[in-house]
Amino acid sequence: MKKNYKKLKELAVVCACDFAALTLSMLFALLIVDGTIAASWDLLYWYLANIGFVYVFFALFRLYFLVFNSVGIVDTLKIIAATVFIFIVNVPFVFVFDLVHFSTVFTFCVLLAILAMATRFSKRMYYTVKYSFSRKTKDKVRTLIVGAGNAGSMLIREIQTTDKIDYLPICIVDDDKDKVGKSINGVKVLGTTEDIPSLAERYAIDEILIAIPAAPKSQVKRIYELCKTTNCKVKTLPGIYQIVSGEASVSALREVQISDLLGRDQIQVNLDEIMGYIENQVIMVTGGGGSIGSELCRQIATHNPKQLIILDIYENNAYDIEQELKRSHPELNLLALIASVRDVTKIDDVFKKYRPDIIFNAAAHKHVPLMETSPNEAVKNNVFGTLNVARCADKYGAKTFVQISTDKAVNPTNVMGATKRICEMIIQTIGKHSKHTNFVAVRFGNVLGSNGSVIPLFEKQIADGGPVTVTHKDIIRYFMTIPEAVSLVLQAGAYAKGGQIFVLDMGEPVKIYDLAYNLIKLSGLEPNVDIDIVCTGLRPGEKLFEERLMDEEGMQKTPNGLINIANPIELDEELLWKSLDELHEAAVHETTDMRHLIAKLVPTYTIKN
């Protein structure tokens, strides 16, 4: 109610200003052209008619629905267009009714346009004048803008016309050398991005704002590498859509994020392919409350499934994603089930009742160090949980089964990776013989922000004052964001057939030490000064780097160049099922020799003490 009252009040003020502008424009036009104002019925008719003309044409051109502190060139053109139409409808008063002179009408319209512009630019002019007078105050944040394009120009204008944040633009840098030496709203372009460190020092810059939202991630990473040699905080505009929607403003700025620094652009997928096999299908996501599972549910929910079944053993996670989807997709046919994939009777019952068409099996124990101390649980959950769900998918004629795997399954040195390799072998074998179901395993690396990933751990360690712990200074990993990984998993499902293993292209590997260093810098702190980085040594089962393929595997391309197919390794199926029976028996009876039993089944598994 209060908000509506404020809008009505603003509208009334603008209408009153337009009435005053109309009256003053007419009076001055008569004085300028005729030299006097003679009261007559003719002038009164002309005056009353123009009151209607002004309000009608200004409303048609939406001049009463502007955000007055963001008025720009487009709004100026609208005012000019509206006054041109007002001039046209005034022509009959000159040549048909002979009420006024042509020069009077022309002068009236010119003055009206000027006063209408003054009304609508008044708020911006007020803040600009206020900014200019307060420009030298010491409490301003001295700012360097990266980018002299549209985003940079809009950002500077926003800073100069807002009282929300006390930024003081000192200078601009841009890699277009033709812009160097020129000014934007009084702020000079003093160099290229290579000059950031020297300019930051020379002008005592407090904060650097990156205003190039359309730039590729490789360029953002390079610029950030330059920025982090300074002691300045760094913020960025998040995306080009901010410019399109008019949100290229101070409020749209955010801290540079680790995902900005991966050195590659966001991975794109073919949404039509995803929609083609998800739409109007019953979808089940096991482990649906986890970081990968919940993002699968979010993206599936946008593709019109017939029903979405979230299956998870952990009720809190399942409840959270269920409530989120109920709020964001109230029309969605949603069902959350609490169950363990290890419970073969329960899983069979779920398939029998709900007959899912597509299954995404994300349920797994994934923490490498924990699985080293609990190998039997890794086998029970990862291997036999997957086996239970896969067998039910085949038994009840599901269309597609997608297994979430990991690059740690390649030449594994830990129990978690080895169990995931066994899952791939199961999917390959069942998929080879299934008459109804297309089986596929999708192999990818570390996912930024997922449960157990390094980024949340680093953030907590920084919040606690350090130190930030890295196992080895040279350890490298492939990284993706959660939405990227999940969207590729969804698209991989469209290509599924015959027990394939898909390998996602994750770009260039990243040093974990560099991630820690950059995250500390992004927090406004100095690595190894404010927050120490401590190398603790490789954990049990951990490698310096992860491979994506085994030596025996090759790669085939799919229509999406970022999804590749690993050539299958021939398996002795009789030996596989016999070994699985032995493995199950040993796990149930809590064997102390699980690693060696796994090694018999996975020849590429290296046991590390």
Residue numbers annotated as active site: 408
Residue 48, Cβ neighbours under 10 Å: how many?
Answer: 10
Residue 282's nearest CA partner among 334, 318, 327, 321 is 334
Hunting for tokens 């499902």 — which residue is that?
A: 493
- Calpha distance 428→403 (Å, rounded): 10
The dihedral of CA 364, 366, 367, 369: what is its sign? positive
Altogether, the residues listed in the chain come to a count of 609
Hunting for tokens 């080879």 — which residue is that?
A: 432
Asked if 360 and 284 touch (Cβ cutoff 8 Å), the reply is: yes
Residue 479's nearest CA partner among 444, 530, 431 is 444
SS3 543: coil
Asked if 43 and 104 touch (Cβ cutoff 8 Å), the reply is: no
Structural tokens at position 527: 């690595």
CA angle (557 as vertex; 555, 560 as ends), nearest 5: 140
Structural tokens at position 446: 């570390």
Residue 550's nearest CA partner among 439, 420, 396, 435 is 420
Asked if 333 and 308 touch (Cβ cutoff 8 Å), the reply is: yes
- Calpha distance 106→344 (Å, rounded): 86
> Listing from the earlier edge strand, what are the strands of the sheet with 555-557?
334-338, 307-312, 282-286, 358-361, 400-406, 438-444, 500-504, 563-566, 555-557
Task: Name the amino acid, one letter, at 42.
Answer: D
- Calpha distance 320→500 (Å, rounded): 33
Task: Name the amino acid, one letter, at 175.
Answer: D
496 CB-contact burial (10 Å; exposed 0-12 / middle 13-18 / buried 19+): buried
